A and B are shown apart, each in its own frame.
Chain A
Amino acid sequence: MLPTVIIIIIVVAILILIIAAYNSLIRLRNQVDNAWSQIDVQLKRRHDLIPNLVETAKGFMKHERGTFEAITEARSKAMGARSVSEHSQAEGQLSEALSKFMLVVENYPDLKANQNFLAVQEELTSTENKIAFSRQNYNDQVLLFNNKIQMFPSNLIANMFNFSKRDFFEIETPAERQAPKVSFDS
């Protein structure tokens, strides 16, 4: 009688431990996925903002055709990119074009004082930050998840249910699904 009770208790305890470990793995994996989708959201937001930026600045910077073209070109490239390497390259180019644009803006005091432009600039700065911070958060979450998968005893459960390690997000930005068409009249 007593041995059976003890065995039952042990089995139940192990089951509870397995369930708890499994649940925490799931929670961590969901956090990783969520962090990943955040990056996508922010990249898309950047694409949406660019027409606004160009529209606002155009009137003030008539002689900077080249700069605008570089931005619009990088944007459409980033939106149309198919493979991961294309994506990362295009997003990198877009970042570069934007920072060049911000340097040029320094020469136009009228533009820098324009309320509309300041608003767009704030949104753009914030989006760039959000991209950086969502990457940072993604890497933090991946670190937690990978640690959990590799450490005993949760690694046993991870192997049982096929949890696999995630990769860190390196400087280049690979994936970006599809950005919607944006109307230019805002």
Chain B
Amino acid sequence: MWELIRTNKRNSILLMTIMASVLLALGGIIGLYVVGPEGVPFGLAIALAIWLILTLVSFSAGDQILLSASRAKLITHDIHPQLFNVVEEMKIAAGLPMPKIYLIDDPAPNAFATGRKPENASIAVTAGLLEKLNRDELQGVIAHEMSHILHRDILFVTLAGIMLGSIVILSQVFLRGMFYSSMGGRRRRVSSSGRGSGQAQLVIALIAILAAILAPIMAHILYFAISRKREYLADAAAARLTRYPEGLASALEKISGSAEKMDSPDKVTAPMYIVNPLQSTKRKLSGLGSTHPPTSQRIKVLRNMAGGSYNDYAQSYSRVTGSRERVLPAAALHDKQPVPKRQGQAEPAPAKSQKDQIHRISDLVRMANGFAFLACVCGLKMKIPPNYRKESLTCPRCKRPHNIAKEAQKNTAK
């Protein structure tokens, strides 16, 4: 396992170095174009400054920003015991500290993990995920997220995201600047030399524009290529942790097949989710521009596994795709003994009506937001918001008095 994490770290460093050189080269070229040869260090400095500011911000509060951007609420054991238990099980299986658990107020099923290191990691799941998946499927999803934490993917996504962000910002500022300055008449430096220098100027301009257009695309392709590999690795690790690949497979099926779409997906958080919320499920192939492998293929690979080990996953992958490509890093393939699969244990959940599901999702979100739940003898269920200050209230239907503090406590004790 440590070899695996080390390989992952090495890959991360390699990717970061390439991205950093792209960023610096971009800065240099822009400096060269705007000011001239003496502007190169200036361009480098600006590129570095953007990167530094973004790094500082995201390292001090990156996960908090992401979590609050996706409207996630920290929850405790009482609000959803099963989720808590499943996370605890996977934390034990992976030998990690307990992550913080967040609930996202969204009926579409999805989940992600974030943080810098395992000690301060968080896992966020949507209310829809909890409502739609059974225990085994939930376990598969949590195991997948736990693997991202275990492999330090969360740090990688943060760092690579920062690099990508810096490159995009720099090239956008430059291209827009070019656009506006060309609209408002050329603000050309007076060149004292003849035609040769003017041609050189033109060439530099062309290179700069090309670089500004191509750099973000290249960085994206690079980032996505590694991100896809990591999704496969996390799937393989989830199968090994749970010894039950079918759980994750059927969870992926439900997530990608669900009719709801996430309310607030954006390009920044999209690559972090277990199934990319921005991609349409209809697409067969994953192009260079997708962060996740096609979900249908991930499901097929999981279902074709003969056992629960990384080797089984790699073999299944080459059977399903017919390619010789190495999907997992060599360091992962160290299991010598076969790892047997186990049986599923979740009972088929009773079919729930759509309306019932929506009810339960909103109740869950209310609970996470600190609502008190009181059941009156007359059968009415009252949901009291946390900003209701009075100590008691009367039932609106039968006018019985209720003491909020006392009865709410009894509810949670149960």
Contact = CB atoms under 8 A, between A and B. Distances in A.
Contacts of A115: 414
Nearest to A115: B414
Main secondary structure of the interface of B (DSSP, over half): helix
A119 B95 contact: no
A116 B81 contact: no
Contacts of B90: 133
Counting chain A residues whose Cβ lies within 8 A of the other chain, the interface size class is 20 to 34
A122 interface: yes
A129 B414 CA distance: 23
A72 to B, nearest CB: 24
Contact of A123 (B81, B135, B243, B345): B81
A162 B414 CA distance: 51
Given A122-B81, A122-B85, A116 B92 contact: no
Interface string A122-161: 1101100110011011001100100000000000000000
B414 A116 contact: yes
Contacts of A134: 92-93
A93 interface: no
Contact of A38 (B92, B345, B414): B92
Contacts of B94: 137
B253 interface: no
Contact of A140 (B95, B345, B414): B95
A136 B241 CA distance: 8
A140 B1 contact: yes
Contacts of A119: 81, 414
B89 A133 contact: yes
A144 B2 contact: yes
B82 A130 contact: no
B93 A136 contact: yes
B95 A122 contact: no
B89 A126 contact: yes
B4 to A, nearest CB: 11
Contacts of B299: none
Contact of A130 (B2, B92, B95, B243): B92
B88 interface: yes
B95 A141 contact: yes
B86 interface: yes
A31 B95 contact: yes
Given A136-B243, A144-B2, A126 B92 contact: no
A35 interface: yes
Nearest to B342: A132
Contacts of B1: 140, 144
Interface in B68-116: 81-82, 85-86, 88-90, 92-95
A133 B93 contact: yes
B124 to A, nearest CB: 21
A59 to B, nearest CB: 16
A48 to B, nearest CB: 15
A34 B97 CA distance: 12
Contacts of A123: 81, 85
A144 B93 CA distance: 15
A126 B85 contact: yes
Interface of A: 31, 34-35, 38, 42, 115-116, 119, 122-123, 125-126, 129-130, 133-134, 136-137, 140-141, 144
Across the A-B interface, the 8 shortest Cβ-Cβ residue pairs: A126-B85, A133-B93, A129-B89, A133-B92, A134-B92, A137-B95, A133-B89, A130-B89
Given A123-B85, A125-B85, A137-B92, 7 more contacts: A122-B82, A126-B89, A130-B88, A130-B92, A133-B90, A134-B93, A136-B243
